[in-house]
């Protein structure tokens, strides 16, 4: 059934944010954050879907702004213009069929389609996803990049002082240094702030296990990407140690745009 609202154009807004210090992860570092804001415009001037396509990871982006802009203009726009605003699953099918790879671009378009569908249906995105699972979600402060343990601890302390109830830090150098980072940050923020750790694919499974065992006493909420995203067997070996994020929504074909 048609909603009467359909996509008429796609507007893109490149965003560049410059920082004063390097933001470092295990794969690289940068002082520039780049992303593309996507607006799915409709025949109703008051309704549009908004998403963001991030050029990540920092210092080693998997999709450059020029690639994203080209993909949207030459591939995504032709298949989405004219589509009903509530046809999110059809949109994902069409984009997947027309565009190979470009997972970050597809994720941003998918988010924009969720936003658009929810607005047209006058509901929330959480309702489209099956309903809210919690009424209270801790708000995380700015992600803290790789640096000395003392520097990261100070940033974490200042983040918690501003009222944030969760802190996420980058690790992915040596085991001893990473454990020192986690130790310093936990001591700085205390026990009432959730602590999340992201290694950006850095470790081999055996070393990841050693890291997780060394830091689990600090009540870690999750360890994100401790090993390569492609090492499925390694993930199986890790899953009983600590809850961690796999980002399968980006990398597994059947789930990528549904």
User: Which pLDDT does position 241 carry in this prediction?
Assistant: 55
SS3 197: strand
Residues 36 and 93 in one domain: yes
- pLDDT tens, position by position, 132-178: 888 877 788 889 999 999 999 999 999 999 999 999 999 999 999 99
For the domain that residue 18 is a member of, what is the CATH number? 3.30.390.10
Residues 155 and 108 in one domain: no
3-class SS string, 10-41: EEEEEEEEEEEEEEEECCEEEEEEEEEEEEEE
Residues 154 and 89 in one domain: no
Q: What is the DSSP letter of 145?
A: P
Tell me the average pLDDT across 65-80.
96
Residues 64 and 109 in one domain: yes
Q: How many residues does the chain have?
A: 258
233 burial level (CB within 10 Å; 0-12, 13-18, 19+): exposed
Looking at the structure of the chain, the number of domains it has is 2
Residues 99 and 202 in one domain: no
Domain of residue 189, residue span: 149-254
Please provide the distance, in angstroms rounded to a whole number, between the alpha carbons at the two ends of the chain.
19
- pLDDT tens, position by position, 223-247: 888 998 888 888 877 776 544 444 4
Residues 101 and 29 in one domain: yes
- The answer, yes or no, to whether residue 29 has pLDDT greater than 60, is yes
Residues 108 and 183 in one domain: no
Residues 67 and 164 in one domain: no
Top-confidence residue, 70 or 213? 70
What's the pTM value of the predicted model, to 2 decimals?
0.81
- Domain-embedded: residue 136: no
């Amino acid at each position: 059934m048609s909603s009467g609202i359909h996509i008429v154009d796609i507007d893109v807004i490149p965003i560049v944010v410059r920082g004063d210090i390097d933001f470092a992860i295990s794969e690289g570092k940068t002082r520039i954050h780049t992303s593309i804001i996507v607006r799915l415009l409709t025949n109703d001037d008051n309704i549009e879907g908004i998403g963001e396509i991030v050029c990540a990871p920092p210092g080693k982006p998997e999709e450059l702004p020029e690639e994203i802009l080209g993909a949207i203009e030459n591939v995504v726009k032709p298949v989405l213009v004219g589509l009903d605003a509530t046809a999110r699953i059809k949109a994902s099918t069409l984009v997947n069929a027309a565009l190979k790879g470009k997972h970050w671009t597809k994720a941003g378009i998918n988010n924009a389609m969720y936003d658009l569908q929810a607005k047209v249906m006058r509901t929330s995105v959480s309702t489209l996803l099956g309903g809210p699972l919690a009424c209270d979600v801790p708000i995380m402060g700015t992600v803290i990049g790789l640096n000395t343990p003392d520097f990261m601890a100070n940033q974490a302390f200042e983040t918690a002082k501003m009222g944030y109830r969760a802190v996420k830090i980058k690790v992915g150098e040596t085991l001893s240094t990473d454990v020192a980072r986690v130790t310093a940050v936990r001591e700085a923020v205390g026990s009432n702030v959730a602590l999340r750790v992201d290694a950006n694919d850095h470790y081999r499974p055996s070393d990841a296990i050693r890291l997780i065992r060394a830091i689990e006493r600090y009540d870690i909420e999750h360890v994100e990407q401790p090993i390569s995203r492609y090492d499925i067997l390694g993930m199986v070996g890790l899953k009983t140690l600590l809850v961690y994020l796999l980002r399968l929504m980006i990398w597994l074909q059947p789930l990528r745009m549904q």
